[in-house]
Structure 1
Amino acid sequence: MRRRLAGIAILGVLTFTTACGGGDGGAPDPADGPVTITMWTRAATQAQSERLVQAYNGSHKNQVKLTVIPTDNYQPRIASAAGAKQLPDVFAADVIFVPNYTSQGLFLDVTDRIAALPFKDKLAPSHMKLGTLDGRQYTIPHTLDLSVWFWNKDLYEKAGLDPEQGPKSLKEFAQHATAIQEKAGKDGKVHGTFFGGNCGGCYVFTFWPSVWAAGGQVMNPEGTTSLNDQPAMTEVFKIWREMYDKKVTGPTAKEEQGPTWTGFFPKGEIGVMPMPSTTLGAMPADMKIGVAPIAGPDGGESTFIGGDSIGVSATSEHADAAWEFLSWTMSDEAQVEVMAKNKDVVARTDLASNKYSAEDPRVVLINSLVAKGQTPYALRFGQTFNDPQGPWLRLAREAIFGDAAKVPQLNAEITKSLQQ
């Protein structure tokens, strides 16, 4: 999340254009012999991409040549390749930025191909929504990363809390975190909770689901008007500010820019905190961890559905072979035997419970949230919400650490940024 910077603005100066009619465009594949297609992905999804490509290459005549690009360099690389009409056959992209790519015509229209999939209505709805433009579909899910609450069962027990019952509301979350701070944090090493207080992406990933769970919204559907001064967001900020004021959040939260945001919980130093679901599989094997949906101040549940979407590039000369690979990545074989087997979130709602997730109720819960969470839409998301110099981070920091009276004015600045 912290790496979604303003580099997406590069797309605004692209002169790359393409016809997007029909739904099955692109040059035809050669009629004879296997085809090798090229694929790009950012380093953030390297592990999942490599596993999918390896499994596909081991079972198909056509082959995929994968290139992994450093996450910070990915958007400029895509922009440069698009301008030169040298995009790979398929490329993945942070789902938040997919609307920018579709509006620039970088992906092939695959509406008719998606319609032919027997599980077309089971694909992660938030990813499919952001890959749709003017009623046409251009991408499918590639990887999913959801925001959830993790709690340390040992620290819960030390604080006199029920280790098997996580928080069911944000207010209860604050109560649990405070109890842990007071009863288990006397040594100064353990803290009730933690958050990325100087990280715009961290805020949206972990705070916004509480707004959604409360029935609120952070933007209008068009992504052009900010609602971050409304009561739902105000209440969420208020609860987190009270935790910070009580020193429940740890001394470095205010300056945390993202790089070490998720590093303290695995060390057993944090009682309960919002985390990316993908970190579950990387936790110490002997650590007793509970997982709960992110709730609103008084209950409900939601999640920020992040991750990547993937599509066939508009200039691919191997559209059929490219689609064969992409459609296979959504198959039962790929989703269960590659993704679920490695504790990754599956991209199909009908596979939320499978033979691997059934071994861990936490994974079943995470998978079930795919149908309940949201991915916000805004063409200027990066510049507005992820840029460290953008207006969102200033608003969040004033709401938590500074003068909350400035929030309405700063919210107007967010709207101004979204409408540029």
Structure 2
Amino acid sequence: MFANTQRRGRIVGGLAIAAVAALALSACSGGGDTGDGGDSGDGASTLTMWSRAATQIQSQAFVDTYNAKGGDQIELTIIPTDDYQAKVGAAAGSKSLPDLFASDVVFVPNYTSQGLYLDITDRIDALPFAADLAQSHIETGTWEGAKYVVPHTMDLSVLFYNKDLYTQAGLDPEKPPTTLAEFDEQARAVDALGGDISGTYFGGNCGGCMVFTGFPWIWGAGGEVMNDEGTESLLASDDAKEFYSVYRGLAADGIAGPGTPDETGATWVAPFPEGTIGVMPMPSTMLGSMPENTGVAPIPGIDGGESTFVGGDAIGISATSKNADAAWKFLEWTLGDEAQIDVLAKNNDVVARTDLAVNEYSEKDPRVVTINEVAGKGKTPYSLNFGAAFNDPNGPWLVLFRNAVLGDGSSIDADNEALTAVLGG
């Protein structure tokens, strides 16, 4: 999610009305197969599936394991991440969507609102572990009371901190920050070591980075970043202003590493694994590339609590699929114990079910348990115009953040109004 900084939010909105209407007509609740389209002749179906390159490893692992079981087969096509939404939009217009297609979860509302996915409410609700699924993905994929997608891959924002640097700075390596103020204090303590050591680092010119790692500070404090409809920005609140103020001090005092003001996201996660950064929020998927003595903790709220941005991809059945039952069989399997544990957990990926947060693989590394458990406390923002408002490198969120953190903070209220104008546009 965080690295996709191109303008994407309204691509699907440009689909031809006639094409969308045709798709919507076929999206009946819990629909079964409408034909034998992909039947291979031996009773098994061959299903088509699309996924973006950002989640290729997990998607391919699911498909390879499923295909090896025999029976229905999945033909997976990996599409470059920056081309993905345009590809889906074109296929929707020509009614040539695959049986299954995944999406960056923040863009799912664009697809559900246009009728591109099949209503699978009854199928989801019938799962014995329905309540244990990542509810942020389910909620983001709910449109007018109907559910259209399930979690496919999970990426969370968490705090990483260098225990060796903490020890050198006189900090307790087993006590990461539990408030925004403690984050500030601990970053400054590490920075005081001098040399090439910096207290923290962040994407000062990356809107997606600061959505992914910034919103949890506000959520953890019980605040919100938008209204429920995703049409009004609440990023001029007292909690938001406290977040900006702390980050402004870290930047102004040189506590944030060199390059922070100009960081577009291209090298955002690179400094920490080099062992020169004390503490910073980052994607949980970076755990495998971290130095050995790296601690992991939830991102706390302003004055306590904890939260995370639940990113990653959700997946659903296209409204025009002729193999809905077979497609659901695959989705149901991906959510089951076998796939969640032996495909995801085995490779240190975040599981999509809270009841499986502690498993035979995560128990070997308490940091993985921490990541899995915080997933149930996180959120995924919901807005039809999310891309244009927050991910666009020329959009209003990045203007607000840079003025608030790298400027003097005097235009926060006006910038927030500009953000609302795009969200509600």
TM-score, normalised relative to structure 1: 0.97
Is the 1:8–1:76 contact (alpha carbons within 8 Å) kept by the matching residues of 2?
Answer: no
Is the 1:25–1:108 contact (alpha carbons within 8 Å) kept by the matching residues of 2?
Answer: no
Match of 2:267 among 260, 264, 268: 260
Partner of 2:111: 101
Deviation at 1:403, TM superposition (A): 2.9
CA 215–98 in structure 1, closer or farther in 2 if over 3 Å, else same = same
1:39 aligns with 2:44: no
Question: Mean alpha-carbon deviation: is it higher for 76-85 or for 6-15?
Answer: 6-15
Is the 2:119–2:148 contact (alpha carbons within 8 Å) kept by the matching residues of 1?
Answer: yes
Match of 2:235 among 210, 223, 228: 228
Runs of 4+ in 1 over 4 A off after TM superposition: none
Deviation at 1:246, TM superposition (A): 1.2
Distance, in Å, in 2 between the alignment partners of 1:73 and 1:193 is 33
Partner of 2:63: 53
Distance, in Å, in 2 between the alignment partners of 1:7 and 1:290 is 34
Deviation at 1:321, TM superposition (A): 1.1
Q: What are the equivalent positions in structure 2 for 1:143-222 lying under 5 Å apart?
A: 143-183=153-193, 186-187=194-195, 189-222=196-229
Partner of 1:370: 375
Q: Deviations over 1:40-82 (max 9, x none)?
A: 1001101111111111111131111111111111111111111
Partner of 1:2: 3
Instruction: Output the amino acid matched with 1:379.
Output: L
Is the 1:197–1:254 contact (alpha carbons within 8 Å) kept by the matching residues of 2?
Answer: yes
Match of 2:143 among 103, 127, 133: 133
Distance, in Å, in 1 between the alignment partners of 2:31 and 2:5 is 31
Match of 1:74 among 80, 84, 90: 84
Q: What are the equivalent positions in structure 2 for 1:227-376 lying under 5 Å apart?
A: 227-284=234-291, 287-376=292-381
Query: What SS does the corresponding residue of 2:9 show, helix, strand or coil?
Result: helix
Is the 1:218–1:228 contact (alpha carbons within 8 Å) kept by the matching residues of 2?
Answer: yes
Point out where structure 1 has 5 or more consecutive residues left out of the alignment: none
CA 33–4 in structure 1, closer or farther in 2 if over 3 Å, else same = farther
Distance, in Å, in 2 between the alignment partners of 1:26 and 1:73 is 29
Is the 2:5–2:206 contact (alpha carbons within 8 Å) kept by the matching residues of 1?
Answer: no
Question: Mean alpha-carbon deviation: is it higher for 157-166 or for 196-205?
Answer: 157-166
The number of equivalent residue pairs is 415
Distance, in Å, in 1 between the alignment partners of 2:341 and 2:110 is 31
Deviation at 1:111, TM superposition (A): 1.1
Query: What SS does the corresponding residue of 1:404 show, helix, strand or coil?
Result: coil
Instruction: Output the amino acid matched with 1:8.
Output: G
Question: Mean alpha-carbon deviation: is it higher for 29-38 or for 166-175?
Answer: 29-38
Is the 2:134–2:376 contact (alpha carbons within 8 Å) kept by the matching residues of 1?
Answer: yes
Distance, in Å, in 2 between the alignment partners of 1:14 and 1:246 is 48
1:379 aligns with 2:380: no
Q: Percent identity?
A: 55
Instruction: Output the amino acid matched with 2:201.
Output: F
Distance, in Å, in 1 between the alignment partners of 2:324 and 2:64 is 20
Q: Deviations over 1:179-213 (max 9, x none)?
A: 11112xx22x2211000000001111111100011
Distance, in Å, in 1 between the alignment partners of 2:125 and 2:191 is 52
Deviation at 1:25, TM superposition (A): 4.9
Distance, in Å, in 2 between the alignment partners of 1:215 and 1:181 is 30
Is the 1:169–1:297 contact (alpha carbons within 8 Å) kept by the matching residues of 2?
Answer: yes
Query: What SS does the corresponding residue of 1:6 show, helix, strand or coil?
Result: coil
Deviation at 1:33, TM superposition (A): 2.1
Distance, in Å, in 1 between the alignment partners of 2:52 and 2:289 is 19
Instruction: Output the amino acid matched with 2:257.
Output: G
Deviation at 1:10, TM superposition (A): 1.6
Instruction: Output the amino acid matched with 2:242.
Output: E
CA RMSD of aligned residues (A): 1.2
Q: Deviations over 1:115-157 (max 9, x none)?
A: 2211111110000001111111110000010000000111111
Distance, in Å, in 2 between the alignment partners of 1:4 and 1:132 is 25
Instruction: Output the amino acid matched with 2:241.
Output: T
Deviation at 1:26, TM superposition (A): 4.9
Q: Deviations over 1:220-276 (max 9, x none)?
A: 111011111110100011111111111000120000000100011111111100010
CA 268–298 in structure 1, closer or farther in 2 if over 3 Å, else same = same
Deviation at 1:323, TM superposition (A): 0.9
Distance, in Å, in 2 between the alignment partners of 1:79 and 1:22 is 23
Is the 1:24–1:112 contact (alpha carbons within 8 Å) kept by the matching residues of 2?
Answer: no
Is the 2:216–2:308 contact (alpha carbons within 8 Å) kept by the matching residues of 1?
Answer: yes
Is the 1:2–1:200 contact (alpha carbons within 8 Å) kept by the matching residues of 2?
Answer: no
Distance, in Å, in 2 between the alignment partners of 1:219 and 1:41 is 28
Question: Mean alpha-carbon deviation: is it higher for 156-165 or for 124-133?
Answer: 156-165
Partner of 1:87: 97
